[in-house]
Amino acid sequence: MSTQIFPPIKPNLQVSVLGKSSVEVAQFFGLAPVDLEASDVAIFTVSAIDGISPENIELWQTARELYIPSLVLITELSNGEVDFDDMSAIAGRMLDEVITPYLVLHDDDGNPSALIDLDSLRLSDYSGSIRADKESDPEHKVLVFEFRKEFLEKLEEYGATGFQDGLSFPALPFVPANGLGSFEIANLLNNLPSRG
């Protein structure tokens, strides 16, 4: 990808990247992964094609015991068979309940091309060479009404620091081909305090 569309990850953040797409995610964001036990945050990559391995379920339990903030990235979304919402629900059953701060919007060919923020209802459009922040259409607001209500209830339940406290687990989509989700992922990571 020629244009970086996300802020650089703060260099002192110790990140453990786990799962099938861990190498690709680490390279994309320029991360030098560390062992789970030494990390400030764990990124669990979950393939929309292959799901979650038993090994990653065990590592998830270790992260829970250590109260390591954990982010679930749903990858390999371009095949069109399993969508982000379905895979987030599966991750929520196999790991712990996840929260989805963004929903995926697709282009005319069915490819993931934008995210709608369930808090602000703004769009992150990844269809061009750079990410564009836009106002969402009125029909988008109607379509996501129930999802937004559920998200805001979970946000209230866990509080503003639920993610950094290792109590709530955001699930975000990640499509390296167009960078979908990269800006939102980087912002989440950069808002975490370094524990070291």
Burial class, 88, CB count within 10 angstroms (exposed 0-12 / middle 13-18 / buried 19+): buried
Can you tell me whether residue 12 is helix, strand or coil?
Answer: coil
Q: Supply the pLDDT for residue 4.
A: 55
Instruction: Take residue 166 and report the two structure tokens written for it.
Output: 């290792």
Q: Give the residue from 102, 110, 97 showing the smallest Cα distance to 168.
A: 97
Domains of the chain, start order: 15-190 (3.40.50.300)
Q: Supply the pLDDT for residue 1.
A: 34
Q: Supply the pLDDT for residue 118.
A: 96
User: In angstroms, rounded to a whole number, what is the distance separating the alpha carbons of residues 9 and 66?
Assistant: 23
Q: Supply the pLDDT for residue 45.
A: 96
Question: Between β-strands 102-106 and 15-18, what pairing exists: parallel, antiparallel or unpaired?
Answer: unpaired
Per-residue pLDDT of the chain (196 residues; tens, 9 = 90+): 334 578 889 989 999 999 999 999 999 999 998 999 999 999 999 999 888 999 999 999 999 999 999 999 999 987 566 789 999 999 999 999 999 999 999 888 888 999 999 999 999 999 988 899 999 999 999 999 999 999 999 989 998 889 988 899 999 999 999 999 999 999 999 999 766 5
